[in-house]
Amino acid sequence: MTLTVGLLSFAHPHVHGYAAALADQGVRVIGTDTGVPDPGTIRGADLAAQLGITYAEDVASLLAEAPDAVVICSENSRHRELTEQALAAGSHVLCEKPLATSDEDAAAMVAAAERAGRILMTAYPVRFAPAFADLVARCRAGQLGQILAVVGTNNGKMPRPGERSWFTDPARSGGGALMDHVVHVADLLDELLGEPAENVHAVTNQILHAGIGVETGGVVSVRYPSGVIGQIDCSWSVPDSAPTWGGLTLEVHGTRGSMRIDPFAEHVAGYDAEGAVWQPYGPDLDARMIATFLDAVRTGTRPQPDGGVGARTLAIVTAAQRSVASGRPEPTHLH
């Protein structure tokens, strides 16, 4: 049976990769766009045509086709409303990260999925990196001993204000670099450590791309109940002139071993007429994540990363935001 999957909103640029991955998996894809696109950008029916997917006029008419599942790529602040509508229509949900912009919204989404008996999965593709699987397996086998400390970085270029202005509009994004980048590393730590973060300290500034109106630089310090300390650099610090979007690294130190992973490091380097070349050749993590989601939809299993980890990782961001406001370390609402 061919699955039907709805793409709800084209606001997040990941829609391109997800549409391609869904098509490769042989599912029928219908999309509809929401929100106000930036002038001059290709969105809506035009983008659907470019992506080779069927376009529905609005969310209601898309859901009226009773898709088996939806993938939500809206502005962060609309994740809850679209998730609730999709669940009410009986669809399983894969939601772009961050799961929501408030702990209350995230909890409501998780509860709604429970009530509906449907999947709520959070789009954390780095979870599917072979390097991360290797790290988790080695830690669980005890090769690193007891974990002491972890250092994570998720740095990238700032989303282009002329094309995706909602990323730098707190009302639609929930915040700047903290909201955009902390959760990826937080998700890996959630899986690796198996315990929710306890206490968070964060500092931010707006020196990079000054005047944009949200934090562009940020450093987050996290303590876990077992005593593990973590540090996350979430800055939009990759210059526009760089040959790639950015990357993610995670370094783990234990009492018996250490390991560093750089899942986006695999690339062919060189130079073309414009300057440096960065041609990635690593596995397509989006495709692996989509495949896991679709497999769960087909078989009725509960995939990871789920809504619960989406909520727990958002809790680190909201505690970081409270810390920036108070100037003090703050407990997460989970403790």
Partner 1 sequence: MNHPDPLRVGLIGAGGIAGVHAPAWRSLGADLVVHSLHGADDLAQRHGASTADSLDDLLARVDVVGILTPTATHAEIALAAIAAGKHVVCEKPLARTADQAQQIVDAAERADVRLFPAHVVRYFPAYAAAHASVTAGRIGQVAVSRFRRASAAPASPWFFDEAVSGGIVMDQMIHDLDQALWLAGAVTHVFARSVTRTDDGVRTASATVTLTHGSGAISHVHGVWGHAHLPFSSSFEIAGSEGLLRHDSAREDAVRLHLPPAPGGGYLPEVDVMDSPYTAEIVDFAAALREGREATVTGLDGVHAVRLAEAANESIRTGAVVEIETQEALR
Q: Applying CB under 8 A, which residues contact partner 1?
A: 145-146, 148-149, 151, 153, 155, 199, 201, 203-205, 207-210, 216-219, 221, 223, 227-231, 233, 235, 237-239, 241-242, 251, 253-258, 327-329
- Closest CB to partner 1 among 23 and 149? 149
> From the CB of 222, what's the least distance to partner 1, in Å?
9
Q: How far is CA 230 from the centre of its chain?
A: 19
Q: Which is nearer to partner 1, 79 or 201 (CB)?
A: 201
Asked whether the bond before 303 is cis by omega within 30 degrees of 0, the reply is no
Q: How far is the CB of 258 from partner 1 (least distance, A)?
A: 5
Q: At what angle do helices 79-88 and 103-116 cross, to 10 degrees?
A: 10
Give the pairing type, strands 229-233 and 147-156: parallel
**Measured between alpha carbons, how far is 221 from 332 in angstroms, rounded to an integer?**
12
| Closer Cβ to partner 1, 4 or 235, answer by number | 235
Q: Which is nearer to partner 1, 159 or 254 (CB)?
A: 254
Spatial separation of the C-alpha atoms in residues 29 and 171, rounded to whole Å: 29
| Residue count (the chain) | 335
Would you say 317 and 175 are in contact if contact means Cβ atoms under 8 Å apart?
A: yes
* CA pair distance 116, 86, nearest whole angstrom: 10
- Closer residue to partner 1, CB minimum distance, 152 or 305: 152
Q: How far is the CB of 64 from partner 1 (least distance, A)?
A: 47
How many whole angstroms separate alpha carbon 76 and alpha carbon 99? 7
Q: For the CB of residue 148, give the shortest distance to partner 1 in the complex, in Å.
A: 5
- State in angstroms the smallest separation of the CB of 144 from partner 1: 9
